[in-house]
Structure 1
Amino acid sequence: MKRKLQIALATALTFGMSQVATTAFADNSALGVDPIFPASQIDTKTGYYDLKVEPGQEQNLEMTLMNDGDKPMLVHMSANPASTNDNGVIEYGKNKIKVDESMTANVGSMITVPKSVTIPAHGTIKVSAKLLVQSQRFNGIAVGGISFVTDPEAGKTQNSGVQIRNRYAYDMGVVLHESDDAVTPNLRMHQVQPATVNYHTAILARLQNDQPAFITDMKSHAVVYTAKDHKQVLSGDKKNQKVAPNSHFDYTMMMADGQKLQPGKYVADIDLTAKQGHWHFKQTFVVAADQARAMNQRNVTISHWACWQIALMILAVILLILLIIFLVRRDRKRTAELRRLQMSVSEVTNNEGNQN
């Protein structure tokens, strides 16, 4: 039962009222992590560390690591601040997202973990991480995570010839409180600009939560239109997004497949509603001619044939069809002529035979 609970926690995207995630990136994970809560744990029913701390406080965070596999498992560990990715999902593992400038309490810097540990096959080990709370007092909450990532396993080769190499990951959330004072999150919109996302054209709006509090269950409606005549360029809705405390992300608005971005002045209008508040942003941005050209060139859904190239190809196809018709007709005429000659020769031969 305890092992099943760990697997359930490992596949959950969010857990608990504060939306702290405990995630795994492989099904039927052989890796399990069981936190051993210290006396400073606020709620022992959560699947993550939710600690009441004081400035400068030092303590160990212990956890049990489990390996259900048949071979020893090498696990790499890291401590990281919580961040928000461009899909509106909170991440607690190691990533390339820059720490937001509003963050004054970086949990990743307060925790020291072993670089790697080895768990024996079908075994468990106890691991300790050192938490040293910063001396400067912080408001609200400080959020981060301890990440566990295994080396890729030598996988099995399927009938298709593709080799599957499993790599397991598990993130344990860490939430620190120094007071019970509630803090209200706050969204701000910074620059808006076009960009290429997965070889598709998109409009990105940088959103920032500059307060030490979560934003959860956020839904939004976004429209981009031309500033001159208010002609709508794109629109879209999103839901179930979350934003970590003191983090930023690029709110992504995708253009339709095959749609070209024209140079000019535009307005991005984004309306966002969450449990913690409502925000409405409007911002003008300009797309230069060379910028639009570059975006369109990189968009794989847009045909890059010029009009004269298309006309030339159509002409070539027509000429090819006419050539085929000509060759077919010529072949038919030659075949018919050959048959007539054969019939004539046959008649002459018959006549000579009758005269003899």
Structure 2
Amino acid sequence: MVSQRIPIFKYLLAIIVTFGVAFFGISLAHVSASNTPDLAIAPIYSANQRAKNGIFDLTVKPNTNQTLQLKVANLSKHDQKIEIVPTTAYTSNGGTIALDRRKVPSEPSLKVKFTNLVDKKDQKKIVDVPANEVRKVSFKVHTPKEPFDGVVVGGLHVQSIDGNDVSAKKGVSLKNRFAYSMAVVLKESKKTAKGNIKLGSIKPGKVSNQIKIKSKFVNDKPAVISGLQVKTQITEKGKSKLLGQTNQEGMSMAPNSNFTFLNNWHSNQIKPGTYHLKAQFKTNDGQHWQMEKDFKVSLADATVLNDHYNPWIKSAILVMLMLLLFVIAYVWKKEYEKRHNLLS
């Protein structure tokens, strides 16, 4: 560990770091409980750093060791205990790349997770950082034996777990918690990988008392998709009347990830039946996709989602299904006993 006092200009670290991260369309996931940052982080660049862009942006080779060194600055007037854990990039349901989770949504196409490349002893580090000082923290990474295509994206999630900064509000203790995620991008090939979007499952749901059609968007390639624009239209199958339309811009997707996109539904009622969703995707760098898919809304879905829904209806449906299963089992048992008696 290295200790050093922080001159005034060190306060700029929190700003400098954001530029490189924004370049890749990856958010820092900075969370705070007040307007004054208590932490700042910055990478220590190694010889294989591709550009000094505020993140770990590395060219690596198969089956090699890489040491990542991170500076953590305590900008507060009290000592802090800092927790740092490696994470794997995923796509949040808001359509942004996030680096704040240990466990990410399952995606079969994701073959190389950054968290699996980090040495076991470095899966969590607790560091004490005195007030107005800096600590250097190292993480060992071992690349896969087999070459990988595209990029592997992850992060080092840095969070204060110190409880010294406590304020009282109406008798409740509130702790200021600060968190940053330092992006890590590993690449072996000089070629720029291209993402690919697929349309997964579609089902109705309710969000904030509004009916939404939830569709899963999948990026099944090891590439970051940024500047994503999405336009969707929903109709009843075989008809042209628009029942829902959604336009959204400025989204991004992590490599080999998926997220749930909320499609608008222009009514507070939905009927059982078969519907059709048409989706158009476009990126700022000229990639585009267009796809269509049917989906069904069952009687049970409509009963639960419509405004007249009574919670007791769901219970009644469940009871009826259980009774039906009981009757089927009883009839089957009697039939089995009858045949058994005939044969005996």
- TM class by shorter-chain length? 0.7 to 0.9
Distance 1:152 1:125, change over 3 A: closer
Q: 2:342 maps to what in 1?
A: none
2:164 is equivalent to residue 157 of structure 1 = no
User: Are 1:70 and 2:77 counterparts?
Assistant: yes
TM-score (norm 2): 0.79
Residue identity opposite 2:255 in structure 1: P
**Preserved contact between residue 149 and residue 169 of structure 1 (Cα < 8 Å):** yes
1:84-233 matched pairs, under 5 angstroms: 84-94=91-101, 96-112=103-119, 113=122, 114-151=124-161, 153=163, 154-158=165-169, 164-233=174-243
Cα separation, 2, equivalents of 1:14 and 1:271: 27
The aligned residue for residue 315 of structure 2 is none
> Partner of 1:33 in structure 2?
41
The answer to which of 229-238 and 90-99 deviates more is 90-99
Counterpart Cα distance in 2 of 1:204 and 1:105 = 28
Q: 1:96 & 1:255 partners in 2: Cα distance?
A: 31
CA deviations over 1:253-280 (Å, ceiling 9, x no partner): 1335x71222111111111110241111
Q: Distance in 1 between matches of 2:80 and 2:204?
A: 44
How far residue 303 of structure 1 moved from its aligned partner, in angstroms, is 5.7
> Does the residue aligned with 2:189 lie in a helix, a strand or coil?
coil
Amino acid at match of 1:40: N
Q: Which amino acid aligns with 2:279?
A: I
Where structure 2 has 5 or more consecutive residues not aligned to the other structure, the ranges are 1-7, 311-344
Task: Tell me how far 1:6 sits from its aligned partner.
Answer: 2.0
Secondary structure in 2 matching 1:292: helix
Structure 1 unmatched ranges of 5 or more = 297-301, 306-356
Instruction: Report the more deviating stretch, 83-92 or 62-71.
Output: 62-71
Residue 60 of structure 1 is aligned with which of 40, 61, 67? 67
- What code does the residue aligned with 1:194 have? P
Name the counterpart of 1:311: none
Instruction: Measure the CA separation in 1 of the matches of 2:167 and 2:206.
Output: 36
The whole-number CA distance in structure 1 between the counterparts of 2:146 and 2:27 is: 26
Residue by residue over 1:191-232, the C-alpha shift from the partner in whole angstroms, topping out at 9 and shown as x without a partner, is 111123344321111111111111111112111111143332
Q: For residue 15 of structure 1, give the secondary structure of its aligned residue in structure 2.
A: helix
Name the SS of the counterpart of 2:218 in structure 1.
strand
Taking the aligned partners of 1:259 and 1:96, their CA distance within structure 2 comes to: 35
Alignment pair present for 1:22 and 2:28: yes
Q: Is the 8 A contact 1:221 1:272 kept in 2?
A: yes
Contact 1:21 1:172 in 2 (8 A): no
Distance 1:91 1:124 in 2: 26
CA distance in 1, matches of 2:235, 2:268: 14
Q: Secondary structure at the match of 2:166?
A: coil
Q: 1:3 to 1:183 in 2, by over 3 A?
A: same
Partner Cα distance (1:184, 1:137) in 2: 17
Describe the shift of the 1:78–1:99 C-alpha distance in structure 2 as closer, same or farther (beyond 3 A): farther
The separation in 1 between residues aligned to 2:102 and 2:111, in whole angstroms, is 19
Give the SS at the match of 1:290.
helix
Higher mean C-alpha displacement, 130-139 vs 19-28: 19-28
Q: How does 1:206-355 map to 2 (within 5 A)?
A: 206-256=216-266, 259-276=268-285, 277-296=287-306, 302=307
Output the CA distance in 2 between the equivalents of 1:185 and 1:54: 22
Aligned to 2:50: 42
Question: What TM-score, normalized by structure 1, do the two folds share?
Answer: 0.77
Q: Within 1, Cα distance between the matches of 2:20 and 2:94?
A: 13
CA contact under 8 A between 2:11 and 2:40: conserved in structure 1? Answer: no
Question: 1:310 is matched with which residue?
Answer: none
Contact 1:215/1:275, CA 8 A, preserved across alignment: no
* Structure exhibiting the larger radius of gyration computed from Cα positions: 1
Report how far residue 100 of structure 1 moved: 1.9
Amino acid at match of 2:28: T
Structure 2 SS opposite 1:104: coil
